[in-house]
Amino acid sequence: MTRIEIQATLQEHKKRLDDFLFDRFTDLSRMYLREAVKLQQCEVNGRFENIGYKMRPNDFVEISVDMTRGTAMRPEKIDLDVVFQDLHLIVINKPAGMLVHPTHRDKSGTLLNGLTHYLNSENDGAFIRPGLVHRLDKQTSGLMVIAKTAQAHRVLSDHLKRKLVKKLYVALVDGVCREDEGIITDSIGRFADEKRWGVKEDGKTAETRYRVLERRDDSTLLELEPITGRTNQLRIHGASIGHPISGDTVRGGREFDRLCLHAAHLAFKHPATGELLEFLSPVDFDPVSSEKKKAGVG
């Protein structure tokens, strides 16, 4: 841990303490810096303040941080599929196989690393910190919205909590679904001994709506809408009704060249204008192509 002392400038008057820290420690994640404040590792004028404290000119800030945690905002040049962007946000079509943010084992090659480079490589102004509003699993592809300002991040995160953000997924599942549509309500929890998430009687309430898009010989293309946001919810719920997602071999799905789960539809209100933004990302899960790849053909 390194003890760092900083003094607020006139231009930082009325800036929230967390935003002040975000701007000063661009290599560290929002989550880590907020946690440092909550754990009383940060003092303003010798007092512990909350993250919403409004800064005043010449405020004296002392904070203890672990600078080796600065991997999430380390810029890396990575090809990104940018769907839309403006001054407040950016919408990305994430490929399957890409982590959203660094972990203890994977320190680079993530979406956040790529976004940090993309947003700042030709930026002459203040550092732009990509703010995650929601996440996708490494093997899941599709649409994500990322905030470019602290205010946009707060508004979009609030909208997500209030279920004002619409997210629809397309999944190819094993077997032919008989019902045209339905709701899965199996509770989800973590099995600590097995280090896995699954259907659990004393787990948290979970709800997924599904609708058949196309029936094939031995599989079904589904539209999935997660009403709740539990860990691995769509994979777990698919398997719980006897239709695991193709490629999810851990839960009984057939082998495929990828996990057949894609965030295909994203709609939300713009955090600054209130305008409804809606994005679609088509996907094609082709079993024939998958078999060819496994056989080394094409």
Active site residues: 137
Whole-number Å distance between alpha carbons of 189 and 191: 7
CB 65 within 8 A of CB 102: no
Taking the CA of residue 258 as centre, how many other CA atoms within 13 Å lie in the half-sphere pointing to its CB? 21
Whole-number Å distance between alpha carbons of 281 and 270: 19
Taking the CA of residue 188 as centre, how many other CA atoms within 13 Å lie in the half-sphere pointing to its CB? 22
Nearest to 110 by CA among 121, 118, 101: 101
Nearest to 243 by CA among 262, 283, 216: 216
What is the token pair recorded at 298? 């094409």
Whole-number Å distance between alpha carbons of 266 and 235: 19
Handedness of CA 198, 201, 203, 205 (dihedral sign): positive
Nearest to 254 by CA among 283, 290, 214: 290
Query: Which residues neighbour 216 within 8 Å (Cβ) at sequence distance 6 or greater?
Result: 176
Whole-number Å distance between alpha carbons of 78 and 116: 10
What is the token pair recorded at 159? 């909208």
